[in-house]
Amino acid sequence: MERRKIVIIGGVATGPKTAARCRRLDQDAEITIVERGDLISYAGCGLPFYVEDVIEEYDALLTTARGVLRDVSYFRDHWGVRVLDNTEALKINRKEKTVTVKDLRTGETRDLPYNKLVLATGASPFVPKMEGIELEGVHRLYNPHDAKTIKEALDRGARRVVIVGGGLIGMETCGAFVGRGCEVTVFEMMPHLVPALMDEEMALLLEKYLKERGVRVSTGSPVSKILDDGTGRVAGVETADGRRVDADLVVVAIGVRPNTELAVETGLDIGPTRAIAVNDCLRTSDPDIYAGGDCVENTHLVTGEKVYTPMGSTANKHGRIIADNINGKRTTFPGVTATAVFKMLDFNCGATGITEKKARELGYDVVTSLCPRRDHSHYIPGAEFFVVKLVADRKTGRVLGCQVVGEGDGVKRIDVAATVLKFGGDVKALADLDLAYAPPYSEAMDAIAHAANVIRNKVDGLAHGVPPVEMKRRLESDEDFVFADCRDRPSYEEQTIENERTINMPFEELMEGPPEFPKDKEIIFFCNTSIAAYAAERVLRSMGYEDVKFLDGSLDAWPFPLETLKKQP
């Protein structure tokens, strides 16, 4: 009996995973990986950490956990998989079921027959049409060769770095350069950083942290050209409004685009995101061709929309599912919640689901919470703060999204939220989860449960919050309201949000009797974390005050500069 022929185009993530799973399920199949580059199965997500020197050895990006190099011989000897590296797939003949490939070293072409074909062609960095983009010293961080080149430039003394793009890739890259002691400037053309992942107030907390670490951040500022020093090397960048920033090194990190050329040329369906369209078995419009990883689109489990969310974790899941289906084991991939995390030195950021902005665009009646919490009990050394934002549908209580930023471990809360999103859970279900608790690991009321309960209080009409961005706008307006710091006098005098409306109204004094304000006067309380401010709202409403609110997240989630007041006692 003739051996089944499985050809996989692409050898970084989905491809090798598909090959390994296929071999486990079928010991007789002839499995071939075609890879255009000279490296296979490398740790692409580890590249920034190599640049930063967190990963010291280059080969660590290319080896298994036991230190075995994942090269052609490894896949041949360990998996019985043939790898054709430095080989480009030129054409797919669906009628003859062959792939024409070209050896990039010799120029030789040949046809590979297949019974099942897998497209794992990945994505490529988007390179804008910009003056100076080809100058020496302008880089993309896409593969280990890029990382090695950038690291060598830093080792030679490059210190002034400009990053074009403030999205996920830009932020991971920024962390690497800051960790190396570079002078870093980040340009993002959108109004705030990581716009696809975070709402404005959360992105501003990240920006605040970056500025405290010496990073210059310029949002709403597209780079118009990269400057030449006269010798073909980069000298800096210039923005659309004429500002110039000098640089020894420029990294362009404005996202990736799916590699769909082969799919388009062979007539496969392309989805609305311009990535390859697949069904829930990751099969393309051709029943004998599958596709997965960064070249395909996914279904968003919250919105039901088709989305392009390239992620290494998703690519590996795709590989397993494709192999199952190729081998007669029907397995489906339901979609993604668009979960993403990144680490900026000691600052953790993450998101899952959709942002408040996106939810409003989709027509949801949105309710949110913004909660600064510790990652474990305060009496255990090492507890750190982080801020969690939860987004929900007011009508149903369904959780729509979650974001975290801060030095505390907010990432595991993102995992909890992603799980609830996967199953369409609501805020009550989230609050009721029986999460692991011990003082070294969490507070008795975990941060994610606290965020869910704040939303429940808002839906029940018990709590009325004002988001930080809206609060800043109101403080800068001529609206008439009282802005009350309900902490004790020493805390108020040490640091507060300065405004002509700001007064000190300690919570303890509220318990002694009502303030001298009309019952219909709008009063907005704030404290450190909003806990006392919410309590103050409840006290005044019990006294008959009709329009009492609190600042969501209060001082610990306030992303704008704080002022120190020196008042007379």
Q: Give the residue numbers marked as catalytic.
A: 45
- What is the full DSSP assignment across 24-63? HH-SS-EEEEE-SSS--S--GGGHHHHHTTSS--GGGGGB
- 452, 431 Cβ separation under 8 angstroms: yes
Residue 291 to residue 281: CA distance in whole angstroms: 10
Parallel, antiparallel, or unpaired for β 244-246 and 385-393? unpaired
Residue 148 to residue 507: CA distance in whole angstroms: 57
Residue 143 to residue 165: CA distance in whole angstroms: 18
Residue 135 to residue 237: CA distance in whole angstroms: 12
| Phi/psi of residue 405, nearest 5 degrees | -145, 145
Cα 508 to chain centroid distance, Å, stands at 42
Residue 330 to residue 339: CA distance in whole angstroms: 25
Q: What is the dihedral of CA 512, 518, 519, 520, to 10 degrees?
A: -150
Residue 471 to residue 433: CA distance in whole angstroms: 32
457's enclosing H/E stretch is helix 447-459
**Token duo for residue 61:** 């990006």
**Token duo for residue 420:** 């609830």
**Token duo for residue 394:** 């007011």
Q: Whose CA is closest to 278, among 255, 261, 260?
A: 260
- 434, 442 Cβ separation under 8 angstroms: no
Q: Whose CA is closest to 548, among 484, 502, 487, 498?
A: 484
Q: Which amino acid is at 162?
A: V
152's enclosing H/E stretch is helix 144-155
The size of the chain, in residues, is: 569
